[in-house]
Amino acid sequence: TKYGSERKRKKLIGNSQTEQLYGHCLQFYGQPPIENISLSEFETFAVDRLKLLKTVENLGVSYVKTSELYTKKLDAEFSNLNFPYKIEQHQDISLEVKKRRKDHISHFILRLAYCQTEDLRRWFIQQEIDLFRYRFNHLPSKNIREFLQYNNLHYHTISIDKKKNLMDKLVTSSFAVSGSTVDCQDFYKVPFQDALDLVRTRKVYLNGGYVYIPHQDIVTIVLNDFRTRLSKALALTARSLPAVQSDERLQPLLNHLSHAYVGQDYSIQKSIGKISLEQIDPLSAKSYPLCMRQLHRGLRDSHHLRHGGRMQYGLFLKGIGLTLDQALQFWRSEFVKGKVDADKFDKAYAYSIRHMFGKEGKRTDYTPYSCMKVILSNPPSQGDQHGCPFRHSDPELLKQKLQSYKVSPSGISQILELVKGMHYQLACQKYFELTHSVRTDSGFSLNHPNQYFMESQKLLGGPGAGVKVEVKREDNPATKPPNPSPHQTPGPGNLPQEVAAEITEDLDSFFQDA
């Protein structure tokens, strides 16, 4: 009944604290959450928001942000991850409050993870602003006015009579506004100092210290406010971070979250041994991402790779299907062509290869490195071959390398523009599209070198096309807790919450470390 529905609404959004936090579907995140949550929920919320922000980043570079395809794909991600984004009639109030709570808490969790460096802060602010813009632009006029009032932004719409009186001035001063569109949209009266960008570009009517901003441009003012607030909040969070990191339950999560990999794991295979050693050279030219192609070429030229390169390339080879025996044969045959004889190889290098396959030491079955791990951890020094060429190479050297691989001049320009914007994974995806002659929307979001290989083999119908993977949490060799199991560690989603909350010593395994 109507009475029952209203009573339920008051119960859910009735008390002052909940009303203040979740009274609107969109917020400035001015108040941090003060409730207790389980570690399981902490992890789930953080990973889901990270997935959402990475989708925002990928779509923002691949599509025009006002396009129908951009909206359709982002709508689907909102729905899949259960975040609030649109006002719907007859919506389930209890479900909506849960979505708003998740949105609120997950934002503050990622603040803790992304306040640590300038690069992380810049990335987080940009994605949150793009996310906020998308959500704000989908609000009806009524809800925009409610949002402004709710956040003490005293920008009031002008009356119909005022619009008629100012009709000519609004049309001549405002971008993309005509006589017919003035009647059907709101105009906001805003102090000019709050709209300096619009005043500077002469996009609005200015009179008496106030500007009159059409509905489609008010988002510019609100976004400037949001950016300022978020930037200050991240700086304050960074100062208080040592106190948070002293909590042994949260430290491993926060350390890994800023470069967490949340996709598939490429270490468990049903088609292991499908790649022969004779196929590696041709596969490296056709289906390797640039980072692995660089490592393979370096190994063939110098007959040696340093430890960082051996780990990055060795785990990749394991991921595409090489068995332990094949890996030992591959590395031995290459190293003995250089300055290492067979005895020295067996004594100094064979152990580490068996170790990465989980046959020595703690017997941890290590996983291939994700893009984020390659980009953010263990940067290469002089003489190293590992790392991400898009992140760690000099732009001129990168350009020469791409030219040597027959990438077109226009394609190189597109890649270098993405690199300049620090979109390294998107630059790699563009390299994939150019070298495989596929359209801009290649149908996947690149997050892993082994994913690149598998998608390439699918297109080419090669021997790696049938390599299947299972989803598993990625273990971090450097920070794995003592006595790890060689088998998959159950994620918190498979455990009761109270059990997951107690496993503080195994928090590292909650995240697929990048």
Binding-site residues from annotation for [4Fe-4S] cluster: 291, 371, 388, 428
| Total Cβ atoms within 10 A of residue 425 | 24
Structure tokens at 441: 């929307």
Spatial CB neighbours of 196, under 8 Å, sequence gap ≥ 6: none
SS3 269: strand
Contact 370, 512 (CB under 8 A): yes
What's at 145, amino acid-wise?
A: R
Alpha helix locations (H) across 321-394? Answer: 324-335, 342-348, 350-356, 371-376, 389-392
Cite the annotated binding site by residue number.
291, 371, 388, 428
List Cβ<8 Å contacts ≥24 apart for 335-341: 335/303, 335/304, 336/303, 337/303, 338/302, 338/303, 338/304, 339/303, 339/304, 340/303, 340/304
Calculate the dihedral angle through the C-alpha atoms of 402, 406, 412, 415, rounding to the nearest 10 degrees: -60
Place of tokens 């050297």: 397
Place of tokens 């001063």: 173
Distance CA 374, CA 367 (A): 13
* Tally of CA atoms within 13 A in the half-sphere of 260 that contains its CB: 28
Structure tokens at 297: 């070429």
**For the purposes of burial, counting CB atoms within 10 Å of the CB of 162, is it exposed (0-12), middle (13-18) or buried (19 or more)?**
middle
Contact 256, 43 (CB under 8 A): no
Distance CA 424, CA 194 (A): 35
Alpha helix locations (H) across 63-166? Answer: 68-81, 93-114, 118-137, 141-150, 160-165
Place of tokens 């004889």: 341
Compute φ and ψ for 261, nearest 5 degrees. Answer: -100, 125
Place of tokens 């998959």: 488
SS3 422: coil
Distance CA 512, CA 375 (A): 15
